[in-house]
Chains A and B, each alone.
Chain A
Amino acid sequence: MPDHDLMKTFPAVGEKMVTLENWRTPPWNRWAYQHVSELIPTAPIWRGTGPVWDLPRGAEDLSRITFKNHAGKESTVAQFLDATQTDGFMAIHHGCIITEQYRNDLAAHRPHILMSVSKSITALVVGILVEQGKLDPAQGIAHLVPEVQGSAFADCTLQHLLDMTVGTDFTEDYLAAAGPITEYREVSGWKPPSEATRSGDLRSWLCTLPKKGEHGAAFHYVSPCTDLLGWVLERASGVSYAELVSRELWQKIGAEFDGYVTVDRFGAPRAAGGVCLTLRDLARVGQMMLENGQANGRQVVPVSWVDDSRFNGDKAAWKAGESAAGNPAGSYRNKWWVMGDAHGAYTGIGVFGQYLWIDPAASLVIAKFASQPLPTDEAVDGDTARCFRAIGEALAG
């Protein structure tokens, strides 16, 4: 049963109608995050016709595992899931699905928006193209996308984009009601355009971001860097982002369902946040990472790329950056947040509660979809890491 009464009548009336204006925010996001294609044009990520990567099932009761939450109180996993607007929760341990839960009307076959976990997916395709010799992380991107001349990206490298160390004047203020971040949403097709953005589009807008400071010096989380990565992928491969993700990733890992990605009015993909996948398929991506890039018996992402993502984050850039206070031991590499803990855990994170958490020491993958009321929330985000870590510790015995 849904945890809301949105979009239940034909048409939905007044506040019960989810629109392009309100969809990202509560309470409308409770319906919207699993119905994104109904709000924004999307390009399909086809699974192809190959066999599904079947994951065996086991059973382990995680619900009673406890952790100490941000307030210092004991919480069980079950309480945490109840308290965090969970839409889907799945864990794979030693290759077996040990729990798979759908809430708020989400179903196994229905894609849910990944928000910034999209970035981790995008970067995997970069890794594949690097292995194929079509991209070089150390090289600039302006030869592939000459349109960036004059912007912050004119002299940055692919690795700067991958690691969020581009020196640019853009503030990722999710709650701002005006300014560059709302323009960004409007040109992406995520919000009705204003007079100023009506004739705009995502790719042109990316080329307007000004440079500030040096590239490579500090971690500075700027989502548009990943949209640019999507554009770089299209130029390097000659096919659209959705087609490329389908060919290089989705058709190879034995995905069970098609995914999709939102596109602007000229077909530009929102590679930073617009990917929508089913819970099980997202967990398969995590399992592939755990198995060093192998999925369904074949090497899909190079081992070297997985290792580079896990171990080669620039600690100095992290310490000089904006997120070090929250986790001094952490780092960020190839669009993964590396936790710097004893288990070697790393994760993709999306606003409003999207996670793909990989705990190599516990041989554990956790995928979580949610439609939380706030884009980021220090207490909830911290509890999520505490909860996942506790599960890893319990399973590692």
Chain B
Amino acid sequence: MSVTATNFQDAPHSAWGFHHVPELLPTAAVARGSGPVWQLLRRDAGLGALEIALADGSQATLATLNAAPDIDGIAVLHRGVLVHEAYGNGMEPGDSHILMSTTKSFTGTLAGILIGQGALAEDDRVTDLLPALKGSAYDGATVRHLLDMRIGLDFSEDYDDPESDFAFMDAACGWRPSIRPGAPDNLEDFIAAMRGRPPHGGSFHYVSPNAVVLGWVLEAATGERFADLLSRLIWQPMGAELDAHLVLDSRDRSQTEGGLNVALRDLARFGELHRLGGAVNGRAIVPPAWIADLCAGGDRDAWNTGTMAAMMPGHSYRSQWYIDHGHPHRPFFTAGAFGQSVFVDPVAETVVARLSCFSGDQETRFDEMFRTFHAIAAALHGE
């Protein structure tokens, strides 16, 4: 059985494919450089025995849940100390794993750094930076509209429909076989052909290509490739342990909405960087005001009238992160297809990084994942 570029997202191939993406697709290295690693102190908090209440009323320990065949890794930081770490499916600490849409949160935070440096502004027009997208859905849109997924356009992000707009984007990336002859075989052709339904700035509408456009905006504003920007502005100063790897499309364009691959501990470090307000070891990496803004959450009306309100009531979306307003700790987190996430509970001083290859009903698996996050944070908070 061979895992290939066009079947790696499907079980059972994903159990190997998700932590071997550079072997399947072209990737640009996000270099960690040669600086010191951000060392994580270790202390086993005994979380393996933690009992977690599941949706069907039963209970299971974290160790039992971790052993599920579709979980590739979990790392928990409490006050920055690595208190729990487990791997599955042969994944090791030295492997990088695809983040799917958790990539978007990296793109968003990178935007925050560049906006803080004045390299671009929230109200910059997308098509001023990317003239190739004139006449597309992105006419009239600003960087802030991209950041908050409030672009007015028609797009179906249905992962179960083999002919949804998202499916065509997947094929354009080279992640699926071509759906029909003549369909775009690269991201730019696909995105340039998307058509808008203005105005922008209305309801929340989760559209993956928005985060690709955001990544390209950063490249255009700086003249640097996304992988190099991420290396210079986050990966090196943060002290990442391993290089990350960004997938490129058939024209060497950066896949900045779902194509980042990182090691589990580095995903946890990225979450911890946000918990700490953007500074590590006394070194400011992300502007504190940017983190404070995202922690405060996005426009609640935009969320409540948007595409995900029924599935995730009481949330909002800001700068490519989700914020849970229904929980008193107001945790914020990322979410990627098939179970990729980093979850930050600022009050419990807890960060959980999770990498998975969910098979079966996604909603059920995501529900269990978030129950796990909340139970871990509550336990570490002494509740």
Q: What residues of chain A have their CB less than 8 Å away from a CB belonging to chain B?
A: 7-8, 10-12, 17-19, 35, 37-44, 46, 48-49, 107-111, 256-258, 260, 263, 265-267
Inter-chain contacts of A11 with B (CB < 8 A): 188, 251-253
Inter-chain contacts of A42 with B (CB < 8 A): 22-23, 27
Interface-side segment among B28-36, B46-54, B321-329: B28-36
- Smallest CB-CB separation from A256: which chain B residue? B34
Inter-chain contacts of B225 with A (CB < 8 A): 7, 10
CB-contacts of B229-277 with A (<8 A)? 242-243, 245, 248, 251-253
Inter-chain contacts of B115 with A (CB < 8 A): none
- The 5 tightest CB contacts between A and B, nearest first, are A46-B94, A10-B219, A43-B23, A109-B31, A38-B28
- Smallest CB-CB separation from B33: which chain A residue? A109
A348 CA to B92 CA, complexed, in Å = 32
Instruction: Tell me, rounded to whole Å, the shortest Cβ–Cβ distance linking B271 to chain A.
Output: 21
Which of A17, A110, A257 contacts B251 (CB under 8 A)? A17
B216 interfacial by beta-carbon distance below 8 Å: yes
B94 contacts A48, C-beta separation under 8 Å = yes
B20 interfacial by beta-carbon distance below 8 Å: yes
- For this complex, 23 residue pairs linking A to B, each with C-beta atoms less than 8 Å apart, are A7-B225, A10-B216, A10-B219, A11-B252, A17-B252, A37-B28, A38-B27, A38-B248, A40-B26, A41-B5, A41-B25, A42-B27, A43-B20, A46-B94, A49-B93, A108-B34, A110-B29, A257-B34, A258-B243, A263-B23, A266-B2, A266-B4, A267-B23
Q: A256-B34, A263-B23 are known contacts; what are 9 more A-B pairs with Cβ within 8 Å?
A: A17-B251, A37-B22, A38-B252, A41-B22, A44-B96, A109-B33, A109-B34, A257-B34, A265-B5
Instruction: Tell me, rounded to whole Å, the shortest Cβ–Cβ distance linking A201 to chain B.
Output: 9
A297 CA to B243 CA, complexed, in Å = 27
- Smallest CB-CB separation from A107: which chain B residue? B31
B27 contacts A12, C-beta separation under 8 Å = no
Contact A37:B29 (CB < 8 A) given known A11-B252, A42-B23: yes
Instruction: Tell me, rounded to whole Å, the shortest Cβ–Cβ distance linking A106 to chain B.
Output: 12
B182 interfacial by beta-carbon distance below 8 Å: no
A7 contacts B26, C-beta separation under 8 Å = no
- Smallest CB-CB separation from B20: which chain A residue? A43
Contact bitstring B10-31, A, C-beta under 8 A = 1, else 0: 0000000000101111111101
Instruction: Tell me, rounded to whole Å, the shortest Cβ–Cβ distance linking A284 to chain B.
Output: 14
- Smallest CB-CB separation from B24: which chain A residue? A41
Instruction: Tell me, rounded to whole Å, the shortest Cβ–Cβ distance linking B230 to chain A.
Output: 14
Instruction: Tell me, rounded to whole Å, the shortest Cβ–Cβ distance linking B91 to chain A.
Output: 12
Q: Which of B2, B29, B96 has the most CB of A within 10 A?
A: B29
Inter-chain contacts of A110 with B (CB < 8 A): 29, 31
A323 CA to B5 CA, complexed, in Å = 41
- Smallest CB-CB separation from B217: which chain A residue? A10
- Smallest CB-CB separation from B186: which chain A residue? A11
Q: How large is the interface on B (under 10, 10 to 19, 20 to 34, 35 or more residues)?
A: 20 to 34
Inter-chain contacts of B252 with A (CB < 8 A): 7, 11-12, 17-19, 38-39
Inter-chain contacts of B216 with A (CB < 8 A): 10
- Smallest CB-CB separation from A263: which chain B residue? B23
A35 contacts B5, C-beta separation under 8 Å = no
A263 CA to B21 CA, complexed, in Å = 12
B220 interfacial by beta-carbon distance below 8 Å: yes
B162 interfacial by beta-carbon distance below 8 Å: no
- Smallest CB-CB separation from A276: which chain B residue? B29
Contact A37:B27 (CB < 8 A) given known A10-B219, A265-B5: yes
- Smallest CB-CB separation from B130: which chain A residue? A10
Which of B23, B24, B245, B253 contacts A10 (CB under 8 A)? B253
B223 interfacial by beta-carbon distance below 8 Å: yes
CB-contacts of B203-225 with A (<8 A)? 216, 219-220, 223, 225
Instruction: Tell me, rounded to whole Å, the shortest Cβ–Cβ distance linking A187 to chain B.
Output: 14
Inter-chain contacts of B34 with A (CB < 8 A): 108-109, 256-257
A257 CA to B32 CA, complexed, in Å = 9
Inter-chain contacts of A41 with B (CB < 8 A): 5, 22-27
A42 CA to B253 CA, complexed, in Å = 18
A263 CA to B93 CA, complexed, in Å = 22
Inter-chain contacts of A48 with B (CB < 8 A): 94
Inter-chain contacts of A266 with B (CB < 8 A): 2, 4
- Smallest CB-CB separation from B129: which chain A residue? A10
A44 CA to B20 CA, complexed, in Å = 9
Contact A39:B219 (CB < 8 A) given known A109-B31, A256-B34, A265-B4: no
- Smallest CB-CB separation from B94: which chain A residue? A46
- Smallest CB-CB separation from B249: which chain A residue? A11
B223 contacts A8, C-beta separation under 8 Å = yes
A12 CA to B254 CA, complexed, in Å = 12
Which of A10, A12, A37, A265 contacts B220 (CB under 8 A)? A10
B245 contacts A37, C-beta separation under 8 Å = yes
Instruction: Tell me, rounded to whole Å, the shortest Cβ–Cβ distance linking A108 to chain B.
Output: 6
Instruction: Tell me, rounded to whole Å, the shortest Cβ–Cβ distance linking B224 to chain A.
Output: 9
A7 CA to B96 CA, complexed, in Å = 26
Inter-chain contacts of A19 with B (CB < 8 A): 252
CB-contacts of B58-115 with A (<8 A)? 93-96
A111 CA to B28 CA, complexed, in Å = 11
Inter-chain contacts of B3 with A (CB < 8 A): 267
Instruction: Tell me, rounded to whole Å, the shortest Cβ–Cβ distance linking A247 to chain B.
Output: 11
Instruction: Tell me, rounded to whole Å, the shortest Cβ–Cβ distance linking A205 to chain B.
Output: 16
Inter-chain contacts of B245 with A (CB < 8 A): 37
Instruction: Tell me, rounded to whole Å, the shortest Cβ–Cβ distance linking B341 to chain A.
Output: 23
- Smallest CB-CB separation from B6: which chain A residue? A265
Instruction: Tell me, rounded to whole Å, the shortest Cβ–Cβ distance linking A350 to chain B.
Output: 20
- Smallest CB-CB separation from B16: which chain A residue? A267
A109 CA to B5 CA, complexed, in Å = 27
A134 CA to B194 CA, complexed, in Å = 57
A35 CA to B4 CA, complexed, in Å = 22
Contact bitstring B135-157, A, C-beta under 8 A = 1, else 0: 00000000000000000000000
A80 CA to B297 CA, complexed, in Å = 60
- Smallest CB-CB separation from A40: which chain B residue? B26
